[in-house]
Amino acid sequence: MGYLRPATDVDLDNLTLVTVNTEYSQALSADCKSFEIFSRTAAIRMGVETGTVANTASDDACYRTIAVNTTYTQENVMLPGSTLYFASGTANAIVEIIHWS
């Protein structure tokens, strides 16, 4: 395994989930070492594979629920080229994403 070096760059993204139960994606920065997700306006579902967050009744549903006004943080990771997937049961839910590389 590689050595995890300190982060030297940060990106901040706001993602609006316009349509109810529709999958939206956000690519993380190259060489992502840490990320934080904040659900600003409604509960959201976050997944790491496409097709797992939009249809909660599906056998493929596999996600992390993040309640409104709640933060989810993942630190000390090595995630080059990773993408996170989001959906919500509420229209226009806003997801704040900060990721360090």
What is the residue-averaged pLDDT of the chain? 91
Task: Decide if 2 is inside a domain.
Answer: no
Task: Decide if 5 is inside a domain.
Answer: no
Contact by Cβ (8 Å): 68, 39: yes
Stated pTM of the model: 0.89
Q: Are strands 10-17 and 44-47 parallel, antiparallel or unpaired?
A: unpaired
Task: Decide if 91 is inside a domain.
Answer: yes
Distance CA 34, CA 27 (A): 13
Task: Decide if 70 is inside a domain.
Answer: yes
Tens of pLDDT, residues 57-91 = 777 778 999 999 999 999 988 877 799 999 999 99
How many domains is the chain partitioned into structurally? 1
Task: Decide if 4 is inside a domain.
Answer: no
Confidence of residue 27 (pLDDT cuts 50, 70, 90): very high
- Whose CA is closest to 100, among 73, 71, 67? 73
pLDDT at 26 over 90: yes
Q: What is the CATH number of the domain that holds 56?
A: 2.60.120.10
Domain containing 24 equals 10-100
Task: Decide if 59 is inside a domain.
Answer: yes
